[in-house]
Structure 1
Amino acid sequence: MSASNYAVMFADIAGSSSLYKQIGDEPAKKAIFSCLALAENIICAHRGIVVKTIGDEIMARFDDPNDAIEAARNLQMQVDQNFSFDGAKMAMRIGVHYGPAILENNDIFGDAVNTAARMVSAANARQIVLSEPTVHALAQDLCALAHRFDFAKIKAFKESVPLYLIEWEATMGNVTTLMPVSRPATAESKRGFLVLQFEDQKHAVTADQTDYTIGREAQCDLVVPSPFASRKHAWVEYRRGKFVLVDHSTNGTWVRTGDNQDIFLKREELPLWGAGAISLGEPLENNVDYVIKFSL
């Protein structure tokens, strides 16, 4: 089956797990449902197609990357202006990549999807992060709103690639000025590695590797057959001198850190340090068979 170019968008609600604690389960569920419904309406209004929703995240595809960016900017504006529940302000994180992908039964597959997922994982609340191919495909007026702010390693590319933020606020008075960023150090200048131990096997993740994937799917670098794990549950990347665990799952990830604290991640990331443990999709105290140990 041949691939065609699509703009793939991921948009998720930043800090949704803390929203449940702030305003309670039912109000939070209603707020998230309303926010995702708004996202779906805006995507469709900009000639996009919703591929799926996963928890607090929506995935969409567009034939034209300009439509994807206009949808993303409109969504950020609408959420920023209209979504506050019981004093809790809601915010979105959005990532977009434009490139070849395979469409099958309204689902979409390929490196374009994985790269778009990396864009949203790099975004903070109220940000839209784009890949460089996306920026190059935009019309001049939208391209002028994009600013490079960082680099990241992505499997689809041989070298670290630049990441771009795109302006969306009606007034830029509250926008932080972005400092120019330098290209990260080459792999030869990096030191150290992360050891992941699952069952009786140890896996070394080095600084020069691209995303090291963990999940239930056979194609993952570390396969964990837990029924609570997502197919591609999380990944580890080396960024600015740190090994960072990035969750991209349905059920979340529990991490016992080097200082013996338990931290829950859901569509969030955490730098790893010392020695600890990782549990996919269930708390560590409930996990008997599928605990991953790590050490640095």
Structure 2
Amino acid sequence: MSSEKIISTVMFADISGSSPLYKQLGDNKANFLIQKLLSMMTNITTKHHGKVIKTIGDEVMTCFDKTDSATEAAREMQDSCRKFQSNMALKLRIGIDTGGIICEHNDLFGETVNNAAYLTGIAKSGKILLSKNAFNSLNLKAQKLCYEYDNVVLKGHTLKTKIFRMHWEQKTDENFNDATVHMGIQSFTRAAKLNRLELTYQSQKYILTTDMEPFTIGRNTGISSLFISNSFVSRDHCQIIFRRGKFILCDTSTNGTYVTQNNQREIYLRREELPLTGQGIVSIGQSVRRAGDDVLGYTLKV
């Protein structure tokens, strides 16, 4: 069969929380519930004029001629999963992209497929994420259910692009759509652009803006934005990113990061994230008390 390139919307829907279910119910009962949920997702796809391309473990790959149809299916899947699993810990992670795809041997290939899979991978349980192309392909009413979620570098790209999250919890409340979600897109984006974070470390000073690449801290010479030569510090210790209107400290280290915000009690992070507020002190790899003057100071400017 020869390959054919067309414009389509690709959606992945992944069931999260299935591993604990197998431990809780046993293989047979858990597999029965998973298959029942996958069947429900297949039926919803067909209902909204989509096609299931394949099932990969606990995930379905689907395609639609229209992005609006894909998001309608995604919202119904989320709502049906919520009702279906009741007291179970099953939730869906859904990613959607619109663009060119290659159809070959009853499968799909191309950048659009990769983008949809990537968005599914970073989506939190119970969430729907859309690429910028998918968002731009929606009708106005559907766009009002979305808000800017993050700026990410998609797989195979070098520049950041906006991605969007779609609300699904309230389907028909138009007052909610207009007053809350649409307002969130406009006002939130304008306000976020005014933010900056000022960092000081010894005699060095850094100004972090909302459109900067992640600010990395560690012992990775030539790569770290801020190089700290200390045995307590990991090569790639932590980074500060701007996401959803906040500067967020993300620890990826062995010894952790200690944060004191607004003269409150010290917080210990290890492989965790924390939004930075007001002003405070960050100590890399050891508590502020032990670090002495070898700490970072920060001030959030709005």
Normalising to structure 1: TM-score of the pair? 0.61
Please list the CA deviations of residues 208-267 of structure 1 after superposition, one character each: whole Å capped at 9, or x if unmatched: 9xxxxxxxxxxxxxxxxxxxxxxxxxxxxx9836598xxxxxxxxxxxx958xxxxxxxx
Distance 1:77 1:239, change over 3 A: farther
Q: Secondary structure at the match of 1:88?
A: coil
Shift of 1:82: 2.5
Of residues 65, 69, 72, the one that matches 1:70 is 72
Q: Unaligned stretches of 5+ in structure 2?
A: 194-208, 226-238, 242-248, 256-269, 273-302
Counterpart in 1 of 2:212? 186
State the alpha-carbon separation in 2 of the partners of residues 142 and 28 from structure 1: 35
Please list the CA deviations of residues 65-111 of structure 1 after superposition, one character each: whole Å capped at 9, or x if unmatched: 11111110111111112223xx4242111110111111112200011
Q: Unaligned stretches of 5+ in structure 1?
A: 195-203, 209-237, 245-256, 260-269, 273-296
Count of matched residue positions in the alignment of Structure 1 and Structure 2 = 210
Please list the CA deviations of residues 36-86 of structure 1 after superposition, one character each: whole Å capped at 9, or x if unmatched: 0100010011111111111111111111111111110111111112223xx
State the alpha-carbon separation in 2 of the partners of residues 5 and 184 from structure 1: 33
Distance 1:44 1:192, change over 3 A: farther
Distance 1:9 1:243, change over 3 A: farther
Calculate percent identity across the aligned residue pairs.
31
Shift of 1:22: 2.6
State the alpha-carbon separation in 2 of the partners of residues 17 and 82 from structure 1: 17
State the alpha-carbon separation in 1 of the partners of residues 125 and 21 from structure 2: 13
State the alpha-carbon separation in 2 of the partners of residues 162 and 140 from structure 1: 18
State the alpha-carbon separation in 1 of the partners of residues 85 and 224 from structure 2: 40
Contact in 1 for aligned 2:21/2:89 (Cα 8 Å): no
Q: What does 1:209-228 align with in structure 2 at a 5 Å threshold?
A: none
Counterpart in 1 of 2:52? 50
Counterpart in 2 of 1:294? none
Contact in 2 for aligned 1:23/1:88 (Cα 8 Å): no
State the alpha-carbon separation in 2 of the partners of residues 242 and 193 from structure 1: 16
Determine whether 1:118 maps to 2:144: no
State the alpha-carbon separation in 2 of the partners of residues 3 and 124 from structure 1: 31
Shift of 1:4: 1.5
Distance 1:188 1:69, change over 3 A: closer
Distance 1:189 1:78, change over 3 A: closer
State the alpha-carbon separation in 2 of the partners of residues 23 and 7 from structure 1: 36
Whichever residue aligns with residue 155 of structure 1, its letter is: K
State the alpha-carbon separation in 2 of the partners of residues 26 and 147 from structure 1: 40
Q: What CA RMSD, in Å, does the superposition of the two structures yield over aligned residues?
A: 3.5
Shift of 1:136: 0.3
Shift of 1:14: 1.5
Determine whether 1:81 maps to 2:83: yes
